[in-house]
Amino acid sequence: MDLYFTALKGIFGQSGLMGLTGGNIVMLIVAFVLLYLAIVKGFEPLLLVPIATGCILVNLPLSGIIDEGGFLRYVSYGIEHEIYPIIIFMGIGALTDFGPLLANPITFLLGAAAQLGVFVAIFGALLLGFSVKEAASIAIIGGADGPTAIYLTVKLAPQILGAVAVAAYSYMSLVPLIQPPVIRALTTKADRGIKMEQLRPVSKLERVIFPIVSTVVTGLILPSAVPLLGVLMFGNLLRECGVTERLSHAAQNEILNATTIFLGLSVGATMDAPHFLTPATIKIIALGLVAFIFSTAGGVVFGQIMKVLSGGKINPMIGAAGVSAVPMAARVVQRMCQREYPSNFLLMHAMGPNVAGVIGTAVAAGTMLTLLST
């Protein structure tokens, strides 16, 4: 009997329960909340389920899963060396229809205006004591583009990667909650009811030339943005050229899905309690929210300016879609419009600034890399 109890004591002594800390418990609760939002509320489950699972795995003590030679250590290689974000951009390019932007190029300005939060957050982060490289990494959260946020942070401030990645993807998933109050505050009911003219058809030639020209022009003007924008446009070229259907399908589906799983697990693996539960993390998450709110506001305010300049032909709500959460932000605009005006359809109009936001955020990241990488 004594031998039995001794064996039980030995097993218990080596169990995870003995290594469980208060911080681990807090992070497990955070993971459960993320799973609830993903599974019950439907907030971006493809992102939040892998992230929450990675958070659970890394906060189970003594498993060795994140130690040297552990599974998550190898999986994290792709995020630590910017592989996953760039592959994700290829998939996004293959999924993206740039037709609405090409049909109404002026909406590109809305994507630029929606980067306002990035610049607001930079100054906020500097005031809170972050270095300029950390401030740039935090600020890019305002673009609502998780892969870009990861790419820039790995380059400039890898020590805050966990908090930045989690904040970026969390706010991307919470677009349907964050954006509507901002839009309502900056528009009237009459604004939200403006009907826009049907977009012109975009030729195949335009669709094929656009990714090629964009890659070359970007590469010559802003080389630092080539890894993101170049691969984004490569994915789009696979979609539009008409002779690479199999490759386009793979980029949109198998490759993108597999990479999303590994990226999510890797992001979750950065949420280990000792590194994540710090005052700096709280500041980063708060600044990310500020950046996202100001980005939405910047797009809507510029939308109001365009409404006036166009003689009331542009619905200012589509400016909110200028953040690069594709296609979530555009869908938010459509749902808000349809709730009040069921016969009004803004989705395709909102997709113009939405895809412009993807380009705008990548350009902002490339600019920061150019200025701060020295």
Q: Give the pLDDT of residue 328.
A: 86
pLDDT band at 294, cuts 50/70/90? very high
Q: Give the pLDDT of residue 143.
A: 83
| Ranges 39-48, 224-233, 286-295: which has the least confidence | 39-48
Whole-number percent of the chain with pLDDT over 70: 95
Q: Give the pLDDT of residue 134.
A: 94
Comparing CA positions, the residue from 200, 213, 149 lying closest to residue 358 is 149
CA distance linking residue 162 with residue 181, whole number of Å = 28
User: What is the Cα 84 distance to its own chain's centre?
Assistant: 13
Q: pLDDT digits over 139-179, tens only?
A: 998 887 888 999 999 999 988 988 898 888 888 878 888 89
Contact criterion met (CB below 8 Å) for 75 and 262: yes
203 Cβ partners below 8 Å, 6+ apart?
Answer: none
**b/e sequence 151-169, b meaning 16+ C-beta within 10 Å:** bbbbbbbeebbbbbbbbbb
Mean pLDDT of the chain: 90
The answer to whether residue 19 scores a pLDDT higher than 80 is no
Comparing CA positions, the residue from 298, 373, 325 lying closest to residue 144 is 325
**What is the pLDDT averaged over residues 114-132?**
92
Q: Give the pLDDT of residue 175.
A: 87
Comparing CA positions, the residue from 300, 338, 339, 329 lying closest to residue 316 is 300
Contact criterion met (CB below 8 Å) for 307 and 193: no
Q: pLDDT digits over 48-85, tens only?
A: 899 999 999 999 998 888 888 899 999 999 988 889 99
3-state secondary structure of 190: helix
The single-letter code of the amino acid at 13 is: G
CA distance linking residue 5 with residue 17, whole number of Å = 17
Distances (CA, A) of 150 to 26, 156, 168, 308, 351: 24, 10, 9, 37, 24
Q: pLDDT digits over 312-331, tens only?
A: 999 999 999 998 888 889 99
The single-letter code of the amino acid at 325 is: A
Q: Give the pLDDT of residue 165.
A: 86
Total-model pTM: 0.88
pLDDT band at 237, cuts 50/70/90? very high
Distances (CA, A) of 101 to 108, 110, 227, 304, 329: 7, 11, 22, 19, 15
CA distance linking residue 237 with residue 216, whole number of Å = 13
The answer to whether residue 373 scores a pLDDT higher than 80 is no
Q: Give the pLDDT of residue 368.
A: 92
The single-letter code of the amino acid at 99 is: G
> How many CB atoms are closer than 10 A to CB 214?
18
Inter-axis angle of helices 161-173 and 45-58, to 10 degrees?
A: 150
Contact criterion met (CB below 8 Å) for 307 and 318: no
The answer to whether residue 2 scores a pLDDT higher than 70 is no
Q: Give the pLDDT of residue 1.
A: 55
Distances (CA, A) of 193 to 145, 177, 320, 333, 344: 29, 21, 15, 11, 7
**What is the pLDDT averaged over residues 288-301?**
92
CA distance linking residue 289 with residue 119, whole number of Å = 13
Q: Give the pLDDT of residue 16.
A: 64
**What is the pLDDT averaged over residues 108-117?**
90
Distances (CA, A) of 338 to 37, 44, 151, 331, 344: 24, 22, 36, 10, 6
Whole-number percent of the chain with pLDDT over 90: 63
Q: Give the pLDDT of residue 13.
A: 53
Q: Give the pLDDT of residue 307.
A: 94
Contact criterion met (CB below 8 Å) for 94 and 235: yes
